[in-house]
Amino acid sequence: MEIGEARDAVATVEVEPDKMAAYLTVTRALGGAEITAAQIRQALAESRIVFGVLDETIDQVVAAGEAHRQLVAKGRGAVDGEDGRLQSLIETVKERRPRLDERDNADYRDFGGIATVREGDRLMQQIPPSFGADGKNLLGEVLPATPGKPVAFAARLKGAEVDPGNPAFLIAKISGQPVLASKGMTVEPTATLPTVDLATGNVNFEGSLNITGDVRAGMVIRASGDIHVGGMVEAAELEAGGDVVVKGGIIGQGSAHERSDSNESVARVRCGASCIAHFIENARVDAGDSIVVHKLVRQSELAAVNRIIVGKPGSDHGNIIGGQVAATLSVQAKTIGSPAGIKTRVRVGTNPVMQEKLALATSGLQAKLKKLDEIVKLLAFIESHPARVEPGIRQKAESTRALLLQETEQAQQDMDMLNSALDLAKDAKVVIERTVFENVHVEIGNKIRVTEAKRSGGKFSLMAGKIIFV
């Protein structure tokens, strides 16, 4: 009488649709022959698997006598190449913004002089892209890697040029201050003066200025780069395309918010990047990035596109007393207001200047895209009718297209950065580390809250349409 059937072990292989992985299932023998490595390899061969076989897995399955969807072969994915990059060769190169740590504290290490390079010095190196590594699937088919994209130096970099002897390097055309720029580095000429007073007269300089002493009242200084002042700035006017760094203080002769723009007794500072000073009194300061003050802001008007920070980390100083301070993202100080209840206005979360910059950037991008479209149409016409175009027109059009592509890319990056900053403004805050006194007017967006009593430190922020303090 037949009471059972002896069955040999059976191996089956399942291959993933992308041919990058295969799984082995082995049914245990029932009175028949146990599974062997040769049987498993035969099953793999029948599935046309010739690459990525995991020998250790086969040995383990043979020892166990069974398996359920165990990974037995694995392909090698392609590794795409890395894009080329531009590497700075100058350790102390200037960056047009203060570095902030994870707690929004400013990095004060840049509170020094102006770093300089000499004509012919190498500024940056062009690191070529890598090709990557091809992959291979289980059938032995090659999976080509995508090579990285090369990166080139910008076409126009003031004070710098591609090294004629080695185009992989960017060198200084002049001696001056190196400044990081989009796809490269610029070099601004520098000049050093002991003081600026009636003896020197007003100063208008295309580059960066290093003033080792004071700037006297009534003087006007304009520079396209940075202005570094080793001493004090009195009731003078400073305008810089980059940073204004004052190792002493900025002090006028009267409350800034009570004076008209024509009054010469108020110190005025405007800069395209950041302003850093030991203290600010009776002054108007407008910064395209941030304002960092070590000790005190008194009866002044400060406006920064990003942040205003008053007080060094770990210091007992950092007071804002009277006047008005305004920033898009945050205002941070040890103390705001005074025991005497002097009206002090603090505004965050709105910035008409940034909105205006965004509008200008948008219109500028649209204009460049329109020009680019016209050049593309011209090149298409030249391609179709080469005999009807004068020699040299094609080369000029291609050069213009390459330049417009770079300019539109930079304009798009500027717009993205402005949009990101405006998004961050929705979470604007006023941070007081120690004390906020009465009669401090806090404005976030279009909401206003006036403090009625002295309170310990905390944070003003906007929640559910109201300004809260926690």
Reported as a single tens digit per residue, the pLDDT across 94-118 is 555 565 555 555 554 444 456 788 8
Rounded CA gap, 358 and 411, in Å?
A: 10
Give the residue from 74, 101, 118 where a domain finishes. Answer: 74
**Which residues does 36 contact at the CB level (< 8 Å), separation at least 6?**
62
Give the residue from 143, 160, 188 where a domain finishes. Answer: 188
CB 334 within 8 A of CB 318: yes
Within this chain, do residues 368 and 443 fall inside the same structural domain, yes or no?
no
Tokens 């003003």 found at: 460
- Work out how many domains the chain is built from and give that number: 4
Give whole-number Cα distances, 124 to 46, 154, 177, 184, 402, in Å: 56, 12, 14, 7, 21
Mean pLDDT of the chain: 87
Reported as a single tens digit per residue, the pLDDT across 222-266 is 999 899 999 999 999 999 999 999 999 999 976 555 444 445 688
Within this chain, do residues 335 and 241 fall inside the same structural domain, yes or no?
yes
Phi, psi (rounded to 5 degrees) for 378: -65, -45
Does 106 reside within a domain? yes
Rounded CA gap, 106 and 114, in Å?
A: 19
Give the residue from 188, 216, 234 where a domain finishes. Answer: 188
Reported as a single tens digit per residue, the pLDDT across 273-287 is 999 999 999 999 999
**Which residues does 106 contact at the CB level (< 8 Å), separation at least 6?**
98, 99, 100, 290, 292, 309
Does 3 reside within a domain? no
Q: Please give the pLDDT value at position 95.
A: 59
* Average pLDDT of span 375-381: 87
84 confidence band (pLDDT: 50, 70, 90): very high
Does 370 reside within a domain? yes
Phi, psi (rounded to 5 degrees) for 359: -65, -40
Rounded CA gap, 39 and 68, in Å?
A: 16
Q: At what angle do helices 55-64 and 37-46 cross, to 10 degrees?
A: 130
Pairing of strands 227-229, 244-251: parallel
Within this chain, do residues 218 and 332 fall inside the same structural domain, yes or no?
yes
**Comparing C-alpha atoms, which of 310, 302, 237 is closest to residue 279?**
310
User: What is the full DSSP assignment across 277-329?
Assistant: EEEEESEEEEESS-EEEEEEEES-EEEESSEEEES-TT-S--EEESSEEEESS
Which amino acid would we find at residue 302? Answer: L
Within this chain, do residues 105 and 160 fall inside the same structural domain, yes or no?
yes
Within this chain, do residues 437 and 329 fall inside the same structural domain, yes or no?
yes
Q: Please give the pLDDT value at position 202.
A: 93
Within this chain, do residues 330 and 264 fall inside the same structural domain, yes or no?
yes
Residue 27 has pLDDT above 80, yes or no: yes
* Average pLDDT of span 136-160: 92
Within this chain, do residues 272 and 184 fall inside the same structural domain, yes or no?
no
Reported as a single tens digit per residue, the pLDDT across 388-429 is 778 788 888 888 888 888 888 888 887 887 777 666 667 889
Within this chain, do residues 167 and 55 fall inside the same structural domain, yes or no?
no
Within this chain, do residues 154 and 212 fall inside the same structural domain, yes or no?
no
Within this chain, do residues 287 and 263 fall inside the same structural domain, yes or no?
yes
Within this chain, do residues 342 and 440 fall inside the same structural domain, yes or no?
yes
**Comparing C-alpha atoms, which of 375, 307, 389, 297 is closest to residue 335?**
297
The partner residues of 455 in beta bridges, in order of sequence, read: 436
314 alpha carbon, distance to own chain's centre: 27
Residue 177 has pLDDT above 80, yes or no: yes
445 confidence band (pLDDT: 50, 70, 90): confident
Within this chain, do residues 173 and 247 fall inside the same structural domain, yes or no?
no
Task: Identify the domain containing residue 198 by its residue range.
Answer: 190-352+427-469
Reported as a single tens digit per residue, the pLDDT across 121-131 is 999 999 999 99
